[in-house]
Structure 1
Amino acid sequence: MTDFLLELRSEEIPARMQERAREDLAKLFAAELDKAGLKAAEIVTYATPRRLALIARGLPEQTAAMSEESKGPRTSAPPQALEGFLRKTGLTQDQLVERDGVYFAVVNKPGRATAAVIAEAVPAVIRAFAWPKSMRWGAPSQSTESPRWVRPLQGIVAILGEEVVPFEVAGVQSGVATVGHRFHHPGIITIGSADDYVEKLRMCHVVVDGAERRNIIALGAKMAAKKAGLTLIEDEGLLFENAGLTEWPVPLLGRFDESFLEVPPEVIQLTARVNQKYFVCSDASGKLANAFVCTANIDPSDDGAKIVEGNQKVLAARLSDAKFFYDTDLKTRLGDLQPKLEKIVFHEKLGTVADKVERVAKLAEWLASEGIVSNCDPRLARRAAELAKADLVTGMVGEFPELQGLMGGYYAAAQGEDPAVAEAVRDHYKPVGQGDDVPTAPTTVAVSLADKLDTLAAFFTIDERPTGSKDPFALRRAVLGVIRLVIVNDLRFGLLKPLFQACADIHFRQQRSPIDRVWPAIAEYEAISRKLIDRDDFFRLMQSATDRANEDAARYVEEGVTDSRVLFAFFADRLKVQQREAGVRHDLIDAVFALGGEDDLVRLLARVHALQAFVTTEDGANLLAGYKRAANILKKEEWVDVEAKPLTYEPLPEEADLIAALDAAEPIATVAIQREDFAGAMAALATLRGPIDAFFEKVTVNDPDPAKRSARLALLARMRDAVHKVADFARIDG
């Protein structure tokens, strides 16, 4: 067994591509080995800004002999079929093997040297490599068949054991030579084998392991901050990026002018992170400090003084720009920015952002006034919604779009808006992702809910719905946001009603309101009247225009109802997915949804969770078994529910016991369901377990006597219907 080392050295690889490239290199190389019947005991990959490397351990010296078999035509097939098979395989008829009247071609392939396999595999890997962005270079780039790489390849190291594996890619010949750090050790390094690769490069100021570089940066940055009496604000994404930009990372702490702290801390952190790749720090009170940590790619002789000085100047310029945007934005009130929203298209079929703001404001006010969001002042909800999107046209959000909402909140607070309004403007996009905070302040909840419901209604009314893996308008995320808002805030309402409000409003606005369509008619007919049009004709035409407008209004309502139902079905599907991911059985979710008519998400989920707890008990499992037996009998007999009639015969004891148990359990279960005590309802139904078991054991349902048969089927239907008040047990597995 031996080890193989591959290093592909190039000009700088973007940091964001390095981790994916490591994974792809391992997968592609392993796949090429697998084609030849080779398998490494372990494959390790590394990435730095200038190199992508792989070490495959435990490779055999050659591949095992292989036998390939391909099936041919039957022996009774026409000669032409046999001739075609022989041409395909390159064999003669006497070399074929006959089994069960079918020809087979069996080709034995001897083992190959592993080095020969690798010499073919690596060029194939390079040709198949799917970089997000790649390029051609040099004279070969004149042909579209030339190899592509993320940046021009400069060197290839390929060593199996202690021997070079010879091959050439894009004019670069494989060998044993590489280079160290660009400044500390730019000269040639000779690699002896895979065993000395990592340490030899470390001696030349190159840390090839990305995880090790990340640890160096994380620890060094924390220690630099701690030495200054500060705490590093950790950022895993920034940690990966800094590790991807350096081969010999050295964290250094710098300072910026305290006057910049007048700018919101998120702006400072984003400026440092996005533009300069710096970490920031907090002081003992938890507030942002006027300090940052940058990562140098050299070991400076002056402890980094000149590097820090240069970085401080660059950051100061960036923060000056940010402060200018902030101060300039504060000079214009958010309310005065509304006209600019009329120039931003939200969607070609849905109008401008100003149109969306108007819809959201109306819906937020309605949610508050209807009590759907309790303890919410409708006036504040409308005001917050009217201001929520205004920061989209500010200088700061133009520079940093990810600050939308947040900056609006700062501006609203600075301009004297009600604190509830400022908070709603700041947080109305939340929750954005699964781990995001869910707003609980009533005004914020109303605006956030209205914004997401309007987005969903808008795109559903124009048939821009998610399909498969495509969801360009993030509607699935919007649905999950609504669900989380409802559940966390325990909002008790039927979801169909606000969905209808939103959908109908979209239809209404798309076609203009009926009265808007009447007024042009009035103007037209008034102009005609000046030419002495007949008075009766004028009023007849006016009535016709009014009738058409009323018909439009009715159509808007009908379309709103249809779209709201389709949209609710979409909500139901996403809720099922969310609950399955949370560990709830899919069949139990289906069992509750199958009841229909339930659009209160909180109540619906309470029913699902109570059902999951119940069916895992012995009583629940036995009741389910009894229910399924009853349902199967009713289905087999094609029972049609009829009004229950008094018994005309003396019931058997087991029959009477089941009737008595139903008489006792049904009222208790009904009251419990009305109180939304679903666990109590199921406990009441669990008392049916013994009587239903005894009934099936002692009572013949299909009695020859039609009266007995009908009464007993009706009794089973009664038992089934009692259980259906909780869930459709027919959809539960087991």
Structure 2
Amino acid sequence: MPELLLELFSEEIPARMQEKAADDLRRMVTDGLVNAGLTYEGAKAFSTPRRLALTVQGVTARSADVREERKGPRVGSPEKALEGFLRGAGLTSIEQAQIQSDPKKGEFYVAIINKPGRRAEEIIADLVPEVIRGFPWPKTMRWGERSAPKDTPYAGPDAEGPNTLRWVRPLRSILCTFGPDTEEPTIIPVEIGGVTSGNLTFGHRFMSSGEPIRIRRFDDYQPSLERAKVVLDAERRKAIIETEARNLAFAQGLEVVEDKALLDEVAGLVEWPVVLMGTFDPAFLAIPDEVIRLTIRANQKCFVLRDPATGRLTNKFLLTSNIEARDGGQEIIAGNQRVIAARLSDARFFWEQDQATRLEDWAKKLQTVTFHEKLGTQAARVERIAALARELAPVVGADADDAERAARLAKADLGTGMVGEFPELQGVMGRYYATAQGEKAAIADAVRDHYKPQGPGDAVPTEPVSVAVALADKLDTLMGFWAIDEKPTGSKDPFALRRAALGVIRILLGAERKLPLLTLAADKQTPEAARDLLSFFADRLKVYLRDEGARHDLIDAVFALPGQDDLLMIVRRVEALGRFLDTEDGRNLLTGYRRAANILRAEEKKDGEGAFGGEPDGKLIAEAGLPEEKRLYEALSVEERAARADVEHENFEGAMSALAKLRPVVDAFFDKVTVNTDDPAIRLNRLKLLDRLRQATLTVADFSRIEG
């Protein structure tokens, strides 16, 4: 079957846009083909710095004929209704419509619309300009004389002004061929923005001859580019860079510091990757490793190397060139070394100057830095975090003085020169500066770690002082924004409050610390805001537990209980409930509970909700009850009390075991006892007994929320 080959050749496309652009091209073209009535077997898109390419295999040669019946208004309808029907159906007069009869609706008009199929070449010729004009680049530009406003000295005869073609960078050529592999493919005629399609492409900007390369189909497209020093597949370019980098590092007894994001970016900067090794003055190794790595990465897109024996960086780096230089890359290496030396000199200046001022003095500068217009300055926020860290210290087993000290220094590095140059180093530099001025290790580590975790893959702090400050930082953020009613809405979360809540959850669970959130929040804001914040935490915890594999119905069953504001206890209760329901006793008790709940629900419709609340009449059971009824009454009294005692002592496994002892007596009750007996007093008492069973299960969870 025929194959479509499309290439959009332009000036350099920003590396960060290439992967999505290739996917957008594949999606837009294949969706367009399908919407036009064509089918295809497979499609794959590619990107290099100067081109987007797409191959679609197995495209049908023609779309099918379509016959459509469009129902219209009744015969005799007003003129305006008839006119609208004619416009929609593409008819010029009502005589072109047919009249059909319906026994109930009478006679009405029907338009029979026959749409003949179209050749794939015609469909593609219409589709490609639509794709190009509607391409979702994050940023675009106009260029050339066509982009000049009409009637200006710079305008050509075809000037279109603002209506001219917009593309991420100037579009230079379009390759568009279509046809089966047994025939010479057809060039699909496309003209847009003065660029006309053909069957030509171009190789490497510097390493090829510069002459156009004639292409028939994808089978010769990719090899032709390879001969012209262009590696079409981005994944292959990444593999080449990785392999060459590791080989060069291994030859020196070193290892590459892996950086996936940098690898993705570098692969988008070159069409013919060549990895080279450079060096810098070993004296710069006195700068922290994080600073060296960021300096080299941000300014020159280079990889750094470390000594596997020490784990420290070495004075060597790897760069990726886009050409095979005649001098082996010496000039390229020398140029990169000069730039890196200059940037590392700047970094060393910041490193030395920052340490000349103590963190306490850097912290004073936060008095002029606004955190939020409704929440005051960063300095005011530091005061709140310090007070909260001291309050939380006993809860997490930290020294209160150390927690407060760490909190007061935690944001101090925001005013330093190094963090001003590299904001991503906030906290990291604070730890270095705190260590340099003689702070305790626990305090210095807390300055670095209080931002953690910053994402799902980030580690959580575990040292008590770090835990106290990290919790205080995140809780202050959440309580502050809740107090001013700046909460996340839908997909919008400009202050990353969902991430902060998830961070609190992960820290508390990781450190296995109890923290009554409602009590803590109620002390610092209105009861309504505190309850709403707790509800937000509940939603985040549900998401977290579901991601961890917990059943959503068990989470809901625990959250349905009143007063659930201790995240650690909630999780332990959910885990214990899951293990209990995996046992035969748990499954059978759930069955018994449902039977009781169903009976109560049906009878409450007659007697009214809550009609069976209160204690059953023990005297009546003793005098007139059946043996199974008596045993259930006695077991409920004992096991419910035991379950409540276990819950109070946070022994959820014990509470489940207590409830499990009800299973045989519940089974026997339903086997031998008729609940809806003719005696009204006995009926009421037995329904109260079932309500007592329902209440007993609420000691551990709301069983009505459990599925399955």
> How much does 1:95 deviate?
4.1
User: CA distance change for structure 1 residues 387 and 87 in 2, over 3 Å: closer, same or farther?
Assistant: closer
User: CA distance change for structure 1 residues 166 and 730 in 2, over 3 Å: closer, same or farther?
Assistant: same
Matching of residues 246-265 of structure 1 within 5 Å:
246-265=270-289
Matching of residues 34-433 of structure 1 within 5 Å:
34-75=34-75, 77-78=77-78, 80-91=80-91, 92-96=94-98, 98=100, 100=102, 101-141=107-147, 142=149, 143-161=161-179, 162-185=185-208, 186-285=210-309, 286-368=311-393, 371-374=394-397, 376-433=398-455
Quote the Cα distance in structure 1 between the aligned partners of 2:345 and 2:260.
27
> How much does 1:249 deviate?
0.4
The sequence identity of aligned pairs, in percent, is 54
> How much does 1:584 deviate?
1.6
> Contact 1:66 / 1:109 at 8 angstroms: preserved in 2?
yes
1:593 maps to: 559
Summarize deviations over 1:123-150 as a string: whole Å, max 9, x none.
Answer: 0000110101001112332333222110
Asked if 1:720 is matched to 2:688, the reply is no
> How much does 1:83 deviate?
4.3
Asked if 1:443 is matched to 2:468, the reply is no
Counterpart secondary structure, 1:70: strand
Deviates more, 1:676-685 or 1:24-33: 676-685
Counterpart secondary structure, 1:647: helix
> How much does 1:102 deviate?
4.4
> Contact 2:593 / 2:694 at 8 angstroms: preserved in 1?
yes
> Contact 2:222 / 2:232 at 8 angstroms: preserved in 1?
yes
Quote the Cα distance in structure 2 between the aligned partners of 1:32 and 1:567.
46
Quote the Cα distance in structure 2 between the aligned partners of 1:87 and 1:334.
75
Quote the Cα distance in structure 2 between the aligned partners of 1:407 and 1:66.
68
> How much does 1:631 deviate?
2.2
> How much does 1:647 deviate?
2.3
Quote the Cα distance in structure 1 between the aligned partners of 2:382 and 2:648.
39
Deviates more, 1:237-246 or 1:697-706: 697-706
Summarize deviations over 1:210-244 as a string: whole Å, max 9, x none.
Answer: 11101111111111111111101111111111110
Quote the Cα distance in structure 1 between the aligned partners of 2:83 and 2:566.
71
> Contact 1:86 / 1:93 at 8 angstroms: preserved in 2?
no
1:611 maps to: 577
> Contact 2:414 / 2:426 at 8 angstroms: preserved in 1?
yes
Quote the Cα distance in structure 1 between the aligned partners of 2:99 and 2:555.
57
Counterpart secondary structure, 1:69: strand
> Contact 1:427 / 1:444 at 8 angstroms: preserved in 2?
yes
AA of the residue aligned to 2:166? R
1:641 maps to: 613
2:157 maps to: none
Report the RMSD for the aligned CA atoms in angstroms.
Answer: 1.7
AA of the residue aligned to 2:162? T
Counterpart secondary structure, 1:439: coil
Asked if 1:685 is matched to 2:659, the reply is yes
Matching of residues 685-704 of structure 1 within 5 Å:
685-704=659-678
> Contact 1:283 / 1:289 at 8 angstroms: preserved in 2?
yes
> How much does 1:695 deviate?
1.8
Quote the Cα distance in structure 2 between the aligned partners of 1:15 and 1:79.
58
> How much does 1:76 deviate?
6.3
Counterpart secondary structure, 1:67: strand
> Contact 1:159 / 1:194 at 8 angstroms: preserved in 2?
no
Quote the Cα distance in structure 1 between the aligned partners of 2:233 and 2:702.
56
> How much does 1:703 deviate?
2.5
> Contact 1:73 / 1:85 at 8 angstroms: preserved in 2?
yes
Quote the Cα distance in structure 2 between the aligned partners of 1:117 and 1:94.
28
Summarize deviations over 1:690-710 as a string: whole Å, max 9, x none.
Answer: 322332233222323232122
Quote the Cα distance in structure 2 between the aligned partners of 1:465 and 1:80.
50
1:574 maps to: 540
2:156 maps to: none
> How much does 1:677 deviate?
2.5
Structure 2 residue runs without a partner (length 5+): 150-160, 180-184
Quote the Cα distance in structure 2 between the aligned partners of 1:276 and 1:174.
37
> How much does 1:580 deviate?
1.7
> Contact 2:612 / 2:687 at 8 angstroms: preserved in 1?
no
> Contact 1:8 / 1:53 at 8 angstroms: preserved in 2?
yes
> How much does 1:599 deviate?
1.7
Counterpart secondary structure, 1:130: coil
2:182 maps to: none
Structure 1 residue runs without a partner (length 5+): 505-558
> How much does 1:122 deviate?
0.3
> How much does 1:730 deviate?
1.3
> How much does 1:269 deviate?
0.6
> How much does 1:97 deviate?
6.1
Deviates more, 1:32-41 or 1:390-399: 32-41
Summarize deviations over 1:470-509 as a string: whole Å, max 9, x none.
Answer: 11100010000000110000112312233234x34xxxxx
> How much does 1:363 deviate?
0.7
Counterpart secondary structure, 1:467: coil
User: CA distance change for structure 1 residues 114 and 417 in 2, over 3 Å: closer, same or farther?
Assistant: same
AA of the residue aligned to 1:158? C
> Contact 1:427 / 1:439 at 8 angstroms: preserved in 2?
yes
Quote the Cα distance in structure 1 between the aligned partners of 2:221 and 2:354.
55
Summarize deviations over 1:601-656 as a string: whole Å, max 9, x none.
Answer: 11111111111222233332322222122223333333242244332332112212
Quote the Cα distance in structure 2 between the aligned partners of 1:97 and 1:660.
79
Quote the Cα distance in structure 2 between the aligned partners of 1:260 and 1:327.
12
Of 466, 474, 498, the match for 1:452: 474
Of 471, 495, 505, the match for 2:517: 495
Aligned length: 675
User: CA distance change for structure 1 residues 90 and 428 in 2, over 3 Å: closer, same or farther?
Assistant: closer
Quote the Cα distance in structure 2 between the aligned partners of 1:87 and 1:329.
74
Asked if 1:676 is matched to 2:638, the reply is no
TM-score w.r.t. the length of structure 2 is: 0.93
Counterpart secondary structure, 1:471: coil
User: CA distance change for structure 1 residues 102 and 274 in 2, over 3 Å: closer, same or farther?
Assistant: farther
> How much does 1:273 deviate?
1.1
> Contact 1:97 / 1:106 at 8 angstroms: preserved in 2?
no
> Contact 1:647 / 1:711 at 8 angstroms: preserved in 2?
no
User: CA distance change for structure 1 residues 686 and 44 in 2, over 3 Å: closer, same or farther?
Assistant: same
AA of the residue aligned to 2:532? V
AA of the residue aligned to 1:287? R
Counterpart secondary structure, 1:59: coil
User: CA distance change for structure 1 residues 281 and 69 in 2, over 3 Å: closer, same or farther?
Assistant: farther
Quote the Cα distance in structure 2 between the aligned partners of 1:49 and 1:404.
33
Quote the Cα distance in structure 2 between the aligned partners of 1:565 and 1:87.
57
Quote the Cα distance in structure 2 between the aligned partners of 1:267 and 1:644.
73
TM-score w.r.t. the length of structure 1 is: 0.89
